[in-house]
Amino acid sequence: MIDGHAHLNEIEDIEAAITSAKLAGLNAIIAVGMDVESNQATLEIADRFPEFVHPAVGYHPWSIAADQIERNLLFIEEKLPSCIALGEVGLDYKTKVKKKIQREVFERLLLMAKRAAKPVIIHSRFSHARTYEMTAQAGIQRAVFHWFTGEKDVLSGLLDSGYFISVTPALAYSPFHREAAAFAPMERILAETDAPVEYEGRVSSPADLIFTLRELAGIKGISIEDAAIITERNTRSFYGLL
Ligand SMILES: [Zn+2]
């Protein structure tokens, strides 16, 4: 079992979270960042738990501030080569940051990922078609559309392009998310928690990956064990984690 997307820097007691993740049977966690500060904290956590926590650096659309863009992009450019992926990045058309600025930043980030030959962890909300289009146009080979809840035609397109989606504990209650998980082939699905996101009022941690796998197994009509084995294999191959 691998948690393919968690915000470890936002977890209060990281020692306890890592210990319970290992007890729950996790073999690794992909830790994502959102801006310079969270990227820095994520890199420090990865240093504390080598071989278990694999860091990605990113610039989340929620975190974009006009006067901080260059500083953030410079940091990512410098750190990306030693990270497992670029993320979390993308477009969020429900957030206050101007769409045009989001697209300019996302475009520059995609080019960095391409240059560094790194996979991209993508956030998209009310922007699925545009996010997919920009990723494909940038010539990105490996991308995961995290917690995908978008339209069926966008999903078909991104699967045709060889991209992945990831699923979270929200499978338990989100009809759009369940539909995406049902539609995508098992070989293109990564499992994650997006911890410490709250699901139905409960703060999550990476050990909750078991809830994601239980829901996914139910949707796919397979055992939880098979869901764990297949998603771990997918995650390893997607991130080049051997
Ligand atoms: Zn996230």
Residue 115: its H or E element: helix 99-116
**Cα of 196 from ligand 1 centre, angstroms:** 9
Predicted confidence (pLDDT) per residue in 191-221, tens digit: 999 999 999 999 999 999 999 999 999 999 9
Structure confidence at residue 211 (pLDDT): 98
The percent of residues above 90 in pLDDT, for the chain, comes to 100
Q: How far is the CA of 122 from the centre of ligand 1 (A)?
A: 9
- pLDDT for residue 145: 98
Residue 127 has pLDDT above 90, yes or no: yes
> 210 C-alpha vs ligand 1 centroid, how far in Å?
18
The number of C-alpha atoms within 13 Å of 137 and in the hemisphere containing its C-beta is 10
Neighbours of ion ligand 1 (CB under 5 A): 88, 194
Element (H, E) at 162: none
Quick check: 6 and 192 in contact, CB under 8 A?
Answer: yes
CA–centroid distance, residue 34 to ligand 1 (Å): 8
CA of 194 from ligand 1 middle (Å) equals 5
φ, ψ (nearest 5 deg) of residue 83: -105, 165
CA 123–ligand 1 middle distance (angstroms): 7
**Å from CA of 193 to ligand 1 middle:** 9
How large is the average pLDDT for residues 73-91?
Answer: 98
CA of 191 to the centre of ligand 1 (A): 13
